[in-house]
Structure formats: structure tokens, C-alpha cells
Amino acid sequence: MTSGLSVRPLDVSHRDRIADLLEATGVFSESERTVALELFDEALSPRVATSRAEPDYSFLGAFTADDELAGFACWGPTPDTDGTYDLYWLAVDPSLAGSGAGTLLLSEVEQRLRTNDARMVVAETSSRGDYEAARGFYASRGYTEAGRVADFYAKSDDRIIFTKRLEPAAAGSAGTPEHQGVNR
């Protein structure tokens, strides 16, 4: 259910709402929230905005019909790879869980990556119980568990690596039903 939701780039005015979303999820530590905001600041810095090079980090937001930021995604090219991208952050306001905002964001990120000839998306998450919904979300959208590093984040908190191979974008794919109504 994505009715009333749209996707568009973020700007510096969204920083406080990003911070609120990260805290509202209840799963990110203070240091993780700090890193996310540092990436946001880097992505929206004037130096990056005027560069012709592919940015290290890109952000998109999902917005409600009332123009409230419902969630955001952050991704970027994986250094020293050919067509592999990391999905660094995907967060949705918990009060909007099930609204389709996460699916809309992920679909739009994937479509943009296909357009750039990306081959693969990598998403990493925790094995903690409070990440069960995130793991289910990725699995239900075609991501497969490609690896696990035991005790990575902390004792009994594994790093779970999900991947999804992307097919090249078909000509005219931006007009497919799943992407109609998405603001670019």
C-alpha cells in the first residue's frame, strides 16, 4: 500500500527529521545515529552537490501526502567493485510500518541502480531479535542471506549480509506500474 506516498531527494532541511526517524526506530545506537547523520551531511555538502563524480552516498526520502518524511534510504557504490552497491540505511517511521514506505524506497533505489548498470546490492543487518522484521523485509523482497559473521557487532550479535542481484533496466521501465507516481 503506497497510495499517497512519493519519493524524492532530500535536502538539508530534512536533517532533524532524519535524526528523529533514526531514534524512533529504537534499534540504532547513538553512535550509529551519529554515523548516519555524518553520511547525510557528507552527501548534501556543497562540494558533493557541485561534483560531477558519482557521490559516495545518495539519499532519498519517502513522503506522505501531507509532505511528512516517512522514511529514507542511503546507498552508495562499494569501493573497488564493479557494479556493486551498499544499502547503508533504510529507516521508516515505526508509526508508518506497513504503509509501503520501505518497499517504495527500496524499489526506487533498485531502479536507480539498474539504470546505472549496477549488478548487486548488499544490505547488512544484525542478528538481534529487534532486527527480525528487517531481515524478513529483505528476504521477502528477493534478498538472500549471503553470509554471516558470528559475534561481529557484539557477543551473540552476528552481522548478516544480504545480497540481491539486479537485472539491467529495461527500456522504458520507469513507466512500469510499480514506479508510477514516484517523484524523481
Residue 34: other Cβ atoms inside 10 A: 13
Q: What is the CA radius of gyration of the chain?
A: 16
pLDDT at 181 over 50: no
What does the pLDDT look like over 86-110, one tens digit per residue? Answer: 999 999 999 998 889 999 999 999 9
pLDDT in tens, 130-152: 999 999 999 999 999 999 999 99
The Cα 127–Cα 134 span in angstroms is 10
Q: Yes or no: say if 38 and 136 are a contact pair by the CB < 8 Å rule.
A: no
- What distance in Å separates the CA atoms of residue 49 and residue 9, rounded to the nearest whole number? 12
Domains of the chain by start residue, with CATH: 6-121 (3.40.630.30)
For the cut 90, the answer to whether the pLDDT of residue 62 exceeds it is yes
| Mean pLDDT value across residues 31-38 | 95
pLDDT value of position 97: 87
Reference 73, options 56, 96, 89, 50; nearest CA is 89
pLDDT at 52: 64
Q: Which of 105, 117, 122 is nearest to 169 (CA)?
A: 117
* pLDDT > 90: percent of the chain: 78
pLDDT band at 168 (very low <50, low <70, confident <90, very high): confident
